[in-house]
Amino acid sequence: MSNAVLEKLVKEKDYCFKKQLFKVAVDYDFSLAELLVLIHFINLGKPDFNINQIKEVTYLSDVKIMEAFSLLTSKKLISVNVVKEETGKIKEVIDLSRVYRAMVSEINTNIQAKNVENIFTIFEKEFGRTLSPIEFEIINAWLKSGTSEELIIKALKEATFNGVSNLRYIDKIIYEWGKKGLKTGDDVDNHLKKSIKKDVEPLFDYNWLDDE
């Protein structure tokens, strides 16, 4: 077989895995053997511990494979479940659910980081300036307290609509909305519509001019 054909073969993708596995590998301090064994398991779908098959694919020795399997087990990333097949045969299957949960955790962390970055950008855009370190801390405190990003941005829009670029004012809005049980942007919109329609008390009672 020519080198060109062989080169084409090695360029073809056969084994694959999500990039989040790299982060898991770093966090759990994987050895090369652990990573290779885990990649092999992931690509099998419902893997069993077939040491000859693992050796054929990974080129690891029996000792390295057993060592990697033991380490992955001790790190509580994989476990072995005994299942009964339709034929009645008992089979040991590798459970990878904890690996997938670790990968999902990394995805969620990235999403949350992007959301936090976005909310700061929105504030700076609305204020027309860079936020101070204290302002960063206040916004972070809102998020950590469980206030939704949607509600915070809604309060920001309410403040800038009134010509105020003041986090104390926004904090008062969020506080008043919380007392009224408003948790989402839709809650606020519906409350505002009812207030206008029934001519009841305003959405919040706060004289922001006192902050000047």
pLDDT per residue as tens digits for the range 16-72: 878 889 989 999 999 999 999 999 999 987 888 899 999 999 999 999 999 999 999
Q: Are 177 and 204 in contact (CB under 8 A)?
A: yes
Q: Does domain 15-100 have CATH number 1.10.10.10?
A: yes
Is residue 161 over pLDDT 60? yes
Residue 103's pLDDT is 86
Q: Is 61 helix (H, G, I), strand (E, B) or coil?
A: coil
* Architecture of the domain made up of 131-211: Orthogonal Bundle (1.10)
Check residues 88 and 205 and name the one with the higher pLDDT.
Answer: 88
Q: Is 145 helix (H, G, I), strand (E, B) or coil?
A: coil
Q: What is the pTM of this model?
A: 0.52
Give residue 2's pLDDT band: very low, low, confident or very high (50, 70, 90).
low
Do the domains at 15-100 and 131-211 have one common CATH topology?
A: yes
- Rounded distance, CA 98 to CA 102, Å? 6
Is residue 9 over pLDDT 60? no
Average pLDDT, stretch 163-168? Answer: 88
- Rounded distance, CA 29 to CA 21, Å? 12
Residue 197's pLDDT is 59
Closest listed residue to residue 170, CA positions, set 204, 195, 134 = 204
Sequence ranges of the domains in the chain: 15-100, 131-211
Residue 139's pLDDT is 93
